[in-house]
Amino acid sequence: ARPGAGRPGAARGGARPPGPPVPAAEPAATARRPGFLSRLRARHERVLLVAAGALAAVALLALNANLKPAPAQLVQEDVDAAVRRTLEEKPLPSFAIKAAETIRPSVVLVRAFPGDASSEDQEEGGVGSGVVIVDNGTILTNLHVVAGAKRIRVTFSDGMESEAKVIGAQPDNDLAVLRAESIPDDLVAATLRSSRDLEVGDHVVAVGFPFGIGPSVSAGVVSGLGRANRSNDGKRRLTNLIQFDAAANPGNSGGPLITADGEVVGIVTAILNPTSERVFIGIGFAVTMESAAAAVGVSPF
């Protein structure tokens, strides 16, 4: 018999028996498949880039805030400098502007005529000023402005004219109270103020019709208090007068002397001039509102 014949499992023709089976090779795509992290990064790469950019921006802003210097703290010198610059660019209006605007609706022109309306004598006898103290047409002026007049006519700030009559007088203080027969619908009465708190050097304004021109405004200060002076006719000695240096001339008589707030503290009544000229040289006098109150008959304060 041939060698190997009859042995079970012997390969025919002398071939070697087969070895253990070799596993089949994996597909190429499966062999190159990326890991989990790589797949995650590939899927969310855009989102991750945006988030990283946002974090970087926040970090830069925080760094900039820390590096930016703190604002300088304001001190009083800075505030004062700002106020000075504002005043230089737009100065405040003078006290006389406010005072004049306040009193103007209450100032009237007073004209006195020696003859009545039916007389041929229509020549104007005197010109002065007055101030409305009650909105029913009650006007305060100087007695010497209307003394001896047969007819009195007043002109209000809006141009309206009216006949007026004397309803009261106080010769000792050269004051007269008039009542207009007709008045404007929106007539404004002046605010009256006591002179007790006036001080020498306080600003005052005189408003009236000097030489019939006006209303005219002049400003000055209180020059003295408790002064005395002769009345215009020289018959009486006026006392407790306010001396002031705001320009006043004939025609200012009876007009208001007012404070910087536009409140009436006196009625202009006389000027002092040692010469025969009836012009202002710097000294004027006004009756106080305390004295004027007696002429009105009631206390205005």
Active site residues: 144, 174, 253
If you ran DSSP here, which 8-state letter would residue 115 be given?
A: S
Residue 65's φ and ψ, nearest 5 degrees, are -60, -40
Q: Which CA distances in Å does 143 have to 36, 73, 113, 229, 231?
A: 115, 64, 14, 16, 10
Under a CB-based contact definition with an 8 Å cutoff, are residues 246 and 284 in contact?
A: yes
How many residues make up the chain in this entry?
Answer: 301
Helix (H) or strand (E) holding 30, with range, is helix 28-31
- The helix or strand, by DSSP H or E, that contains position 99, with its residue range, turns out to be helix 95-103
Query: Residue 137's closest CA among 185, 169, 181, 186?
Result: 181
What pairs with residue 126 in β-bridges?
112
Whether 244 and 221 have beta carbons less than 8 Å apart is answered as yes
Alpha carbons within 13 angstroms on the beta-carbon side of residue 150 total 12
3-class secondary-structure state, position 39: helix
Cα–Cα nearest to 110, from 82, 57, 151, 79 = 151
How far apart are the C-alpha atoms of 286 and 278, rounded to whole Å?
A: 17
Give the SS3 label for residue 194: coil
Among candidate residues 178, 119, 116, 122, the one with its CA nearest the CA of residue 146? 178
What residues does 259 pair with on adjacent strands? 204
